[in-house]
Amino acid sequence: MEITKICCIGAGYVGGPTMAVIAQKCPHIQVTVVDLNEQRIKDWNDPNTDNIPIYEPGLAEIVAEARGRNLFFSTEVEKAIDEAQIIFISVNTPTKTYGKGKGMAADLKYIELCARQIAKVAKQNKIVVEKSTLPVRTAEAIKSILDNTGNGVQFQILSNPEFLAEGTAVTDLLNPDRILIGGDTTHEGETAINALVNVYANWVNRDKILTTNVWSSELSKLTANAFLAQRISSINAMSELCEKTGADVNEVAKAIGMDSRIGPKFLKASVGFGGSCFQKDILNLVYIAKTYGLNEVADYWEQVIIMNDHQKRRFSNKIVQTLYNTVADKKITFLGWAFKKDTNDTRESAAIYVADDLINEQAKISVYDPKVSRNKMLSDLDYLGTRTSDENINSLTIFEDAYDACKGSHAIAVLTEWDEFTTYDWQKIYESMHKPAFVFDGRNILDAKKLESIGFVYKGIGS
Ligand code: UDX
Ligand code: ADP
């Protein structure tokens, strides 16, 4: 089957960049990304590609090249579904906030809605691809909806999880470690798998394209994220021990990372991991394990989240304790709000929780982040529901300039590892602050010795 038309439902952090790269690399395929959110589509169509809704290095250039040629952003969901041979589902699957599995299971209402819409509209056979991370056996649920409510057309469901990391989405998409495609082992299933393999083979070496059954593919995505998050919680656990024993977690990470069996990546101790995937996927894994009565398995993985929550709280506690056990009315400046550098995404960012803790202690928080908007920061805090919007507005001041944000503050907390923070004139910042001036480096990116020689009291993670 020669694929000439693809549609992607969901123009978010996964759907947008992934489809932009497919369109760039496959000029013979028309790629249409649809979303219910009109503003989001309007932003993707902004003539100035610097204004597209997702910031990722290199993405604006790719959108500029492909948009209008074979890449389209639209709110006409049904038209795009009708025309496409392959439909990617890239909608959000947040953790459930109600009912059975509340706080753990993935909320599949958006996925189900997509499946029902596809079933309603499709008049020809289609390949439906799960791109969003989903609990194991979701494909089965999608298939059941499609087969029982559709117009008698044949659907093949594939699982093709996306492994891109935000901030490096474009390079990850252009040079993936692997592409994973799970599908039915029937003849029709294999034909569908091949059709998708051929799309990726336009730029990815076939050796790197793995095909499996659907369940293995779905579970591999959850497992990969759980292992990555586990490494961070493991090194963060060690960071607390380092602080008590006089060891330095950076030195420990380097020493163990040189063991080729362990490897050097993902060993940076931090204020705690954030992002839309790690916590959600582990909770999902825990929920699935519990559903099958595998309580030890569930408890094992849940500990990764418990450790991460502890690390965030430990960071805010340390700020309060160090500032003589009170931060009431003290100005504390956050450098960074995004959950990692090079993204404007703030989902589950440690900054939100640390800010919440410190505001509970009546601190006044100033924030500078090069890519996150004021409204986003305030809505992140509002979403927690700890206090009213007006109270949040009174407690959080957002600056466009880092030096202005730091002026007159008692302490600086580095929440995101933006490169620019390391290039600042720290002498100038020191002079503008209350003394003693504290720096809490939640990312261990600043030069401790240099800051101490200026006069700062420097506190990193795990040293
Ligand atoms: C992750 C996976 O890496 C990716 O494969 C999957 O598709 C989606 O989830 P992402 O959440 O975008 O990607 O970013 P990632 O680079 O994994 O970082 C997640 C969090 O862990 C960030 O808050 C980051 O700052 C933190 N982190 C990462 C650490 O604290 N220490 C590290 O060593 C690495
Ligand atoms: P992710 O990080 O998984 O890409 P996002 O929240 O960034 O998640 O993006 C998901 C997008 O999916 C949102 O823009 C949302 O509006 C869109 N969406 C959710 N349900 C539907 C639907 N039924 N039809 C079209 N778009 C949808």
**Catalytic (active site) residue 8:** no
What distance in angstroms lies between residue 35's CA and the mean position of ligand 2's atoms? 6
What does the pLDDT look like over 142-186, one tens digit per residue?
Answer: 888 888 887 789 999 999 999 999 999 999 999 999 999 999 999
Amino acid 133 reads T
Counting ligands in written order, the one closest to the CA of 91 is: 2
As a whole-number percent, the residues of the chain with pLDDT over 70 amount to: 100
54 lines ligand 1 (CB under 6 A): no
Counting ligands in written order, the one closest to the CA of 73 is: 2
What distance in angstroms lies between residue 221's CA and the mean position of ligand 1's atoms? 14
**Catalytic (active site) residue 162:** yes
**Over 90: is that where the pLDDT of 134 sits?**
no
Instruction: Give this prediction's pTM.
Output: 0.95
Q: How far is CA 408 from CA 331, 366, 412, 424, 430, in A?
A: 7, 10, 11, 17, 10
Considering 221, 268, 312, 331, which one is annotated as catalytic?
221
What does the pLDDT look like over 214-272, one tens digit per residue?
Answer: 999 999 999 999 999 999 999 999 999 999 999 999 999 999 999 999 999 999 999 99
The pLDDT score that the predictor gives to residue 321 is 98
250 lines ligand 1 (CB under 6 A): no
What distance in angstroms lies between residue 131's CA and the mean position of ligand 2's atoms? 11
Residues 462, 238 contacting (CB under 8 angstroms): yes
Residues 379, 372 contacting (CB under 8 angstroms): no
Considering 7, 126, 131, 162, which one is annotated as catalytic?
162
Instruction: Read off the tokens for 428.
Output: 């100038």
Residues facing 6 on adjacent strands = 31, 86
What distance in angstroms lies between residue 219's CA and the mean position of ligand 2's atoms? 22
Amino acid 68 reads G
225 lines ligand 1 (CB under 6 A): yes
* 167 DSSP 8-state letter: T
Phi-psi sector, 388: left (phi>0), alpha (psi -120 to 50), beta: beta
